[in-house]
Amino acid sequence: MDKTIITIPGDLPGLSYSLTVLRFSGSDPAAPTAYLQAALHGNELPGVAALHVLIPRLKAAEAEGRLRGSITVVPFANPIGLNQFQWDDHQGRFFYGNRVNFNRAFALLDRPDPALLTDDVDGVSCDRRLKATLQKLSLDADLVLDLHCDNEGPNYLYMPSELWPHSADLAAALDCPAVLTFEGGTDASFDEAAFRPHLAAGNFEKRVVATVELKGIHDVGPETARRDGDGLYRFLVGRGVIDDATGAPVGPFTGKGVPQSYVEMVRAPVGGMVFFHVGPGDTVTAGQLVAELIPAPGDLDAVVPVRAAAPGVVLTRVLARAVRIGDDLLKIVGDHRSPTAKDGGALES
């Protein structure tokens, strides 16, 4: 394993960030290569936990001559967001310097040419330098996994529609009940930017690019880390990156693979305290009460019911119980385009 620390200068004198990059050398130049990063949103640690389990297994595979394809791992992909606290609260999603989401506004290239990525130079703000650096590190990999998490929920994936269902092995390895595919833009998220340079070349069976949502933000611990790390390992074995005949092969995918426009984003109609009547995994019918908003405690006439627009399965739920008007409450995956779907862009801001 080769460990490199890339220094990203901060936007004022005296400040800098360290990005640790781990490289594992494969023995077969024809084998698929992989790139994994975690915590692009600085406080989303289930992916970091999974990598904590995976990395020793990659070291062993390399040492024992079982690593066929080369692998690059960036365990903390966002040292800027990792260090953003405000009054004891971790704020890892948006860069304090400009309020841009760390997983938006990546450069969209029409070919995998690192010379087109010119932001990792002096004079460019640290968030843009970080984004260009991560893109360069991942540009040539056949398998690109960006490990995130949701608020509360199971493992699930986002990926370009061109890669579905060829990438169902990843979903199966991670026990995902759902895969959400996107066509066109997602506001230049990392996965869109990792896929776009390879769009013209086709050969999609060989390629996997996914945003991997590893359960909820509080699902960080030894047991979930072991399960997710093992799932990632078995996926890499199944793809021929690692030789290992000892583990169970990845089984068939039994969940739902649907366009992300099939997701109903249930939003708060008013601000207040929320009572949920459903949680992740629950099946709902059209019109079913899924939550109540309580703006004036004790005033039963003021309670605002929130109902599902269409039948489906609850995928995720927000952690907060004090919500503002318009806040996302639930994602419900239906069997058809959601009546509330918007045209294009990411599901969340």
How many residues at the interface with Zn ion, by CB under 5 A? 3
Cα–Cα distance for residue pair 211/181, rounded to 1 Å: 10
Please report how close the Cβ of residue 44 comes to Zn ion at its closest, in angstroms: 5
State which residue, 212 or 329, has the beta carbon closest to Zn ion: 212
Please report how close the Cβ of residue 90 comes to Zn ion at its closest, in angstroms: 13
Q: Is 148 in the site for Zn ion (CB under 5 A)?
A: yes
Are 151 and 217 in contact by the 8 Å Cβ rule? The answer is: yes
State which residue, 206 or 218, has the beta carbon closest to Zn ion: 218
Cα–Cα distance for residue pair 48/320, rounded to 1 Å: 23
The stretch near Zn ion (CB under 5 A) out of 113-121, 141-149, 200-208, 309-317 is: 141-149
State which residue, 129 or 148, has the beta carbon closest to Zn ion: 148
Q: Is 215 in the site for Zn ion (CB under 5 A)?
A: no
Q: Is 131 in the site for Zn ion (CB under 5 A)?
A: no
Q: Tokens representing 72? A: 């690059």
Task: Count the alpha carbons within 13 Å of 109 in the hemisphere toward its beta carbon.
Answer: 21
Amino acid at 192: E
Please report how close the Cβ of residue 148 comes to Zn ion at its closest, in angstroms: 3
State which residue, 176 or 250, has the beta carbon closest to Zn ion: 176
Burial class of residue 115 in the structure, from the number of CB atoms within 10 Å of its CB (0-12 exposed, 13-18 middle, 19+ buried): exposed
How many CB atoms are closer than 10 A to CB 311? 16
Closest residue to bound Zn ion by CB: 148
The stretch near Zn ion (CB under 5 A) out of 145-153, 180-188, 318-326, 330-338 is: 145-153
Amino acid at 308: A
Please report how close the Cβ of residue 348 comes to Zn ion at its closest, in angstroms: 9
State which residue, 44 or 142, has the beta carbon closest to Zn ion: 44
Q: Is 239 in the site for Zn ion (CB under 5 A)?
A: no
Q: Provide the b/e sequence for 227-241 (b: ≥16 CB within 10 Å).
A: bbbbbbbbbbbbbeb
Q: Is 41 in the site for Zn ion (CB under 5 A)?
A: yes
Cα–Cα distance for residue pair 36/233, rounded to 1 Å: 11
State which residue, 26 or 154, has the beta carbon closest to Zn ion: 154
State which residue, 47 or 177, has the beta carbon closest to Zn ion: 47
Cα–Cα distance for residue pair 134/262, rounded to 1 Å: 30
Q: Tokens representing 92? A: 């890892």
Please report how close the Cβ of residue 211 comes to Zn ion at its closest, in angstroms: 8
User: In the complex, which residues of this chain contact Zn ion (CB under 5 A)?
Assistant: 41, 44, 148
